Structure 1
Amino acid sequence: MIHYLLRRLLVSLLLIAFVSLISFALVFASGNPAARLAGEAGTAADAANLMTQYGFDQPIVMQYLKWLGGAFRGHFGDSLYFHRPVGELLAQHFALTARLGAMAMLLALAVAIPLGVAAGRWKGSWVDKLALTLASLGQAMPPFCLAFLLIIVFSVQRTWLPASGFDTWRHYLMPTATLAVFAMPAIIRLMRSEMDTVLRSDYIRTARAMGLVERKVVLKYALRNALRPTVSLAAAQMGALLAGSVVVETVFAINGAGQLAWISILRGDFPTIQALILVFSLFYIVLTMCADIANGWLDPRVRTQG
C-alpha cells in the first residue's frame, strides 16, 4: 500500500507542476500583458513602466519561479480589479463554492447510490425505470434552466425560499439541489451498470449457493466492488461541480469562486485568473488522488496495477 501511495503522490506532484506552468503561461498567451494593462489609451512609456512594475522585463524563467514561490506561500499578488491580495479573495470566495459543491455532492451520492443499487438489483422493474427516467431528465436539463424553474416555483409563486444569497440554511436548498441534479445522472447510470455486472459474477453466485442472505450478498460483497468506479466518478464530478459553479452562482447571486472567476475574466484580472486556475486544478488533482487511494483500499488488486 505504501508503494501505491507513493506512486500516486508522485503523479499528483507532476500534474501540479504541469498545471502551475500552464496557469503562469496563460498570462502571455494573448500577447504582452503590460500593453493590455495600459489599455488602448496607454502609451509606450506607460507599457514600459508597467513592464518594470510587474516584473515582466525579467527573464521568463525567473518570473515563473518567483510566481511559483509566492503561490506555495499563498501569495498570488494583488488583484488588478478588486485592489486586494488575491489570496484574501480566494479564501473568502472559494470557501462558499467548496461548501456548496460538497453539499451538492453529498446529496447526489445519497440519492444516486441507493437508486443505482436498486436499479441494478431489480433490473427491468419499476425502480429501474424510475432511476433511468430521473437520470435522463437530469442529464437533459441544463443547470441554469433548473435553477430558474426552482426560483419560479419556490421563490416567485410560493415565496417559500429566498431566490438569492447564501446567508441561512434556506438559501442553500435550491443551489444545492440544482448542482446535485447535475451530478446524479452519471452516478445513477454507472452504479446501475456496475451492480448488474457484479451481481452476475461467479463469486456472487457462489455466495448465494452457500446460502448467504441476499441482503448480505448485495450490501457486503457486491456493493464494495460496485463502488470502486463510482468513487472515481464522484471525484471527477466534484471537480466539475466546482469548476462549473459559475452558472449557478450567477443565477442565485452567490458571491463564490465561480462568480469571482467570471468577473476576473471580464475585467482582465490576470493575477486572480492565474490563482483560480491553479486552485481549481489543485482541488481536482487532490480529489482524484483521494479517489485512487479509496479505490486501492476497496480493491487490493488496484494497488498492484500501478
Structure 2
Amino acid sequence: MLRFAVRRLLLALAVAFTVSAIAFMLLRLSGDLATTLAGQEARAEDVERIRQQFGLDRPLILQYGDWLWRALRGDFGRSLFYPESVGALIRDRLPNTALLASLGLVIALGLSIPLGMAAALWRNSWLDRLALMLAVLGQAMPNFWFALLLVFLFGMTLGWLPISGTESFANFIMPAMALGWYATPVLMRLTRAGMVDVLAADYVRTAHAKGLPLRVVLVKHALRNAVVPVVALAAVQFGNMLSGSVVIETVFALQGIGYLAWESISRRDFPVVQGILLVVALFYVVLTLLTDLLNAWLDPRIRSR
C-alpha cells in the first residue's frame, strides 16, 4: 500500500506542475497582457511602461518561474480590479463554494446510491423504471432551470427557504439541491450497473447460500465492490461542482469562486483568473489522489497495478 501511495503521490505532483504551466501559458497566449491592461487606445510608451512594471518584458520561462515560486508560498499577486490580493479573494470566496459543492455531493450520493441499489435489486420492476426516468429527467433538465423551479416553489410560493445570500446554512440548501440534482443520474446509473454485476458474482451467491441476512450481503459483500467506480466518479463530480458552480452561484447570488471567476474573466482580471485556475486544478489533483488511495483500500487488487 505504501509503494502504491508513493507512486500516486509522485504522479499527482507531476500533474500539478503540468497544470500550473498550462494555466500560466494559456493566459499569456490569449493576447498581449500589457495592451489589455493599458487599453486599446493607450500609447505605445504607456504599453511599454506597463509591460516593464509587471515584468511582462522578461522571457516566459522566467515569468513562470517567478509566478510559481510566489504561488507555492501562497502569493498569487494582486487583483487588477479589487483592492486586495488574489489569495485573499480566493480565501474569502472558497468556503462558500466548498460548502455548496460538499452539500451537493452529499445530496447526490444520498439519492443515487440507495436508488441504484434498489434498481439493481429489483430489476425491470416499477422501481427500476422510476429510477431510469429520474436519471433521464436529471440529465435532460439544465441545473439552472431546476434551480429556478426550486426558487419558485420553496422560495416564492412556500417561503420555506431564502432565495439569495450566504447569511445562514439555509441559504445553501436550494443551491446544493440544484447542484446535486445534475450529478445524481450518472452516479445512480453507475451504482446500478455495478450492483447488477456484483449481485451475479459467485461470492455473493455463496453469501446468500450461507444464510447471511440480505442487509449484510448487500452492504458488506456487494456494495463495497460495486462502489469503487462510484467513488472515483464522485471525486470527479465534486471537482466539477467546485469549478462549475458559477451558474448556480449566479442564480442564488452566492459569493463563491465560480462567480468570482466569471467576474474576473469579464473584467480581464488575469491574476485572479490564474489563481482560481491553479487552486481548482490542485483540488482536482488532490481529490484524484485521495480517490486512488481510497479505492486501493476498498479493492486490494488495485494496489498491484
TM-score class, shorter:
over 0.9
CA distance in 2 between partners of 1:189 and 1:60 (Å): 46
Q: Which residue of 2 aligns with 1:110?
A: 110
Give the gaps of 5 or more residues in structure 1.
Answer: none
Give the gaps of 5 or more residues in structure 2.
Answer: none
Alignment of 1:1-306 (within 5 A): 1-305=1-305
CA drift of 1:285 comes to 1.1
What amino acid does structure 1 have at the position aligned with 2:239?
Answer: G
CA drift of 1:6 comes to 0.6
CA distance in 2 between partners of 1:28 and 1:283 (Å): 23
- Runs of 4+ aligned structure 1 residues displaced above 6 Å come to none
CA RMSD, 1 decimal: 1.0
For the residue of structure 1 that corresponds to 2:115, the secondary structure is helix
Name which of structure 1's ranges 271-280 and 208-217 shifts more when overlaid on structure 2. Answer: 208-217
CA distance in 1 between partners of 2:100 and 2:174 (Å): 11
Q: 1:160 to 1:208 in 2, by over 3 A?
A: closer
CA drift of 1:212 comes to 2.4
Percent identical: 48
CA drift of 1:161 comes to 1.8
What amino acid does structure 1 have at the position aligned with 2:60?
Answer: I
CA drift of 1:126 comes to 2.4
Deviations 1:181-238 (A, max 9, x none): 0111111000001001000011112222233222221111011000100000100100
CA distance in 2 between partners of 1:291 and 1:244 (Å): 20
For the residue of structure 2 that corresponds to 1:123, the secondary structure is coil
The count of residues paired between Structure 1 and Structure 2 equals: 305
CA distance in 2 between partners of 1:20 and 1:83 (Å): 25
Deviations 1:131-181 (A, max 9, x none): 212211111110110111111112222222221111112211110110110
| Alignment TM-score, normalising by the size of structure 2 | 0.98
| Alignment TM-score, normalising by the size of structure 1 | 0.97
What amino acid does structure 2 have at the position aligned with 1:54?
Answer: F
For the residue of structure 2 that corresponds to 1:40, the secondary structure is coil
CA distance in 2 between partners of 1:5 and 1:124 (Å): 41
CA drift of 1:33 comes to 0.8
CA drift of 1:27 comes to 2.1
